[in-house]
Chain A
């Protein structure tokens, strides 16, 4: 290989590497981190990116150089030099990638071990997923439909599912885990940034999958305590049975149904704004539809979509409050 060609291919390599680096830097690849775990994931991401940009630049430079330099005219019938291989080169391109992927593996394994470690005294929150809602239970047994976390403290989430597989993901936290029926999975998150985030389900779980979201708030420790107190006395807990709006949110009704008073507009199930009870007393019809959704199907909707477990997962008081709330929200009725 002549010196001129080395210079040229190096230039191509630098150009390809620069383009790739610009793409890496200018495009907002990752969401702004909001947890210690995401910080470590970001480190792994950029560590891998640097190595990959190098490989990408080499391959692109070789392709570009070959195409520009070795292109033959259409009527050129000569063959290239009969080179069958080069053991040294083959050893090099076996050995170097091996070293590089080993390095990435080691970094990844270390980061994984740290990201799995919740420390000695994590805050434990139980997450229950079902089609198509999330429920969170705090150490003092209060529950809510949105997740509130104190900043700066490691949280260990234990995930359960009541029906099919769901997956817990807050992009800014990085961490993700499926909630699998029959087994318990765990997830460690140490929030670092106060703010409001969105929890999305990332495992296809049925019709309402795309709208199976929940709000996540990271707050100061004192605000967290205040939230627990408020929740225990009013927001979604059994004691709050009289508040139908809270039950509506906590049970995840808005994941599938539109209901103007609650500000939800999902279209998986029928709208609850103008319920047609088909001649039955309205309250009785609503109650039946909650505890036994397949009894009467709204025209245009199929059965076996809505969970038929609400008579178990909600208390009688909560169901009554919900019926009252929905019935009060009927325009003109």
Chain B
């Protein structure tokens, strides 16, 4: 059995440093240093652009489009990351200087301020991820409220068309790239190493960097509103050639996606290495909790697919900035190539936004039904099935796009077949509940809400996989309904389930069950009232992404808007619950749900290195009802802080 040894400071390291006083503070990693490195890097970018344009006799030498891309959207963020110290260790190491002592000063959190610094503790990073992503969830949600206010009546009322298109695009971009994908990464960051019996992720510093790329991407998206001509306004799909001719705000999307994508890829690599190499003794692949399986497959999807969206956004931007002709038909470019490259990422991205949720729901349903997951191996294999099939269905987004006609039927068949592994999961969850002892706590309510909503989203997906129906429904509000049933009824419900489920473990306090249930019912009603009518107004003739629409859809849009405000208001209950409970909720026991997976076998919140001794895994993670069964053996002080000095515990 491996013991975790708390090593004494290595003599090759520089002495531990606390923030120095005076001018030296300007060189110490933190916001103060970022305050001068960010403009410095920006100025370097500005200088590079102007110098080379002057050298090449380009007129004008000061071209603000190019400067925006190079200085503001590339170098300034690097300057910020350098300033807060995301690269310090590597920079010291590469340059041969003594690295800062690895005394874990940047590990764990002793006060709320530690959450605003570069931190290498996966539990802190998990919370950083969640708080950041919920911040962008609020911003993106407010944009949706503006959109619904405008759409409540036909004709234009509150905003002009450019602003409306900007709001729609920003809403989608924030919800996808700054909320759903990273919120799952945050939950997994917290839970996966604990579930594996590991002290941390495989690469803690890379983990910290992945997190800090995220606010950079989010701020970049939001700053697009400040660009002349307004925010990017071509939808989150940002189709060429429209996206090549838009006002400057468009490049904020092109570049923001790069930062968010880099964050995704780094996290995914980290998960893969962690899951493959850092499982506790006895934790075979067939003994891993399904959340770990889900993140394993998700990470594979991210690593394989994300470079494609990066490429598609670079190409669109190059068409604008460097006058390349990837997608400009009049110059010999191929317009449809954009959509093929974009959807080769963005369809798998749907599963990137879905599979971690499947993992969460598997945990929650097994625990709150007090039964083993039904058909565990098939559950894991169906994840792998979705992974493989997920790469063969992208062109079903392009049935009306004018692509090669022969490609349509094969893509329809694979899109239909992918319903089979998804169906297996749904039926297995139902069978898990069957004859169980169901406790309808808030996470379970959200899991059940997910099940019913996701079935609807999946069934409307069958309609859309059928080419003739898709031809009629494509680019209408039917699509808006479908995507929200899948990504809100599906993903967001599972995120809520996960947040409530692990809240006691993260904060050491219990949330209010009453407020949690209120939140669920308000969300459930608001959600269905908002998105269900969209199905038929879409089929009847209302296109998506329009600020103005035909009079005949006025009544239903008013109904939808009213329900959407209810949906928006429901999140107030959620945030109130989270803040109040974090502040003064009841102290959480180490295992309030009587769950078997490893994160519940340590204190709430867990000790700084998770396990005082590495647990030995002896059986599967869902052995509920099996007499005397244990998932893992932790001898001596399991579930307690035995042996860890008080000051090293995280509170």
Contact = CB atoms under 8 A, between A and B. Distances in A.
B546 A101 contact: no
A208 B546 CA distance: 9
A185 B402 contact: yes
A78 B438 CA distance: 10
9 closest residue pairs by CB, A with B:
A182-B329, A171-B541, A72-B437, A210-B546, A79-B625, A202-B475, A185-B402, A80-B436, A82-B625
Contacts of B545: 204, 209
Contacts of A267: 156, 160-161
A51 B466 CA distance: 13
A52 B461 CA distance: 11
Contacts of B276: none
Contacts of B247: 302
A102 interface: yes
Contacts of A268: 161
A174 B402 contact: no
Contacts of A200: 541, 543
A80 B625 CA distance: 6
B412 A105 contact: yes
A204 B372 contact: no
A77 B594 contact: yes
A82 B440 CA distance: 20
A28 B540 CA distance: 8
A181 interface: yes
B266 to A, nearest CB: 32
Interface in B420-469: 420, 423-424, 426-428, 430-431, 433-440, 448, 451-452, 455-456, 459, 462-463, 465-469
A80 B623 CA distance: 10
A333 interface: no
Interface SS of A by simple majority: mixed
A30 B241 CA distance: 32
A71 to B, nearest CB: 5
Contacts of B436: 66, 70, 80
Contacts, number: 273
Interface residues of B, number: 92
Contact of A82 (B334, B426, B439, B626): B626
Q: Which of A27, A59, A167, A211 has the most CB of B within 10 A?
A: A59
Contacts of A93: 423-424, 427
A90 interface: yes
5 contacts: A29-B539, A40-B468, A45-B472, A48-B463, A67-B433
A109 B409 contact: yes
B98 to A, nearest CB: 54
B439 A74 contact: yes
A174 B470 CA distance: 10
A206 B169 CA distance: 12
Contact of B468 (A44, A62, A171): A44
Interface stretch (A110-118, A244-252, A286-294): A110-118
Given A48-B462, A178-B400, A207 B162 contact: yes
Interface in B333-392: 333-336, 369-372, 374-378
B430 A66 contact: yes
Interface in B78-137: none
A178 B402 contact: yes
A60 B594 contact: no
A164 B455 contact: no
Q: Which of B234, B372, B405, B408 has the most CB of A within 10 A?
A: B372
Given A44-B468, A165-B335, A204-B239, A30 B548 contact: no
B127 to A, nearest CB: 29
A30 B229 contact: no
Contact of A94 (B160, B424, B433): B424
Interface residues of A, number: 88
Contacts of B459: 52, 55-56
A169 interface: yes
Given A85-B377, A164-B245, 5 more contacts: A55-B423, A71-B438, A98-B420, A112-B408, A201-B543
B239 A203 contact: yes
Interface in B189-231: 229
A85 B335 CA distance: 49
B32 interface: no
B420 A101 contact: yes
Contacts of A102: 416
A93 B161 CA distance: 48
A78 B536 contact: no
Interface string A152-181: 000000010001110101010011111111
Interface string A73-109: 0101111111111100110011001100110110111
Nearest to B417: A101
Contacts of B417: 98, 101
A176 B451 CA distance: 33
A78 B437 CA distance: 7
Nearest to A47: B466
Contacts of A204: 165, 234-235, 239, 242, 544-545
Given A31-B539, A202-B474, A63 B239 contact: no
A321 interface: no
A38 interface: yes
Contacts of A253: none
A202 B544 contact: yes
